[in-house]
Amino acid sequence: MNVDKAKKRIAKQVKKGFHGYPLISLAYFGKSPDSASEVVISFILEEGAAAQEQKFSCEQDAREDETIQSILVKIIERADVATVLETEGVSLGG
């Protein structure tokens, strides 16, 4: 899947806002605010449940990595979630 198409599909889900559970959240991490070397995707089945996390890393910016963005879209689609949240920007620490 094209990286721009994948990013648009994720953004469309995020834009819907909170609609309950199950929920997926995305957070990007990197050594600087300009480049995310890692993305953490968290899945929460129901309120109060522990989050299941999966991390994806790459050498370049994960937000522009076609493979990572396509995988995120597939995970979101297959999990059949009600809500997708995304932390804005890049947190330091990846």
* Domain boundaries, given as residue ranges, for the chain: 3-92
8-51: pLDDT as tens digits: 999 999 999 999 999 999 999 999 989 999 999 999 999 999 99
- Concatenating the DSSP letter of every residue in 54-65 gives EEEE-SS-GGG-
Mean of the per-residue pLDDT values for the chain?
94
pLDDT band at 1 (very low <50, low <70, confident <90, very high): confident
- Name residue 6's beta-bridge partners: none
Say what the pTM is.
0.90
Q: Which residues of 33-65 are buried (b: 16+ CB within 10 A; e: fewer)?
A: eebbbbbbbbbbeeeeeeeeeeebeeeeebbeb
Structure tokens belonging to residue 14: 């995020």
In terms of Cα–Cα distance, which of 13, 20, 29, 21 is closest to 76?
13
Determine which helix (DSSP H) or strand (DSSP E) holds 27, and give its type and residue range: strand 23-30
Mean local confidence (pLDDT), 56-77? 94
pLDDT for 94 equals 56
pLDDT band at 93 (very low <50, low <70, confident <90, very high): confident
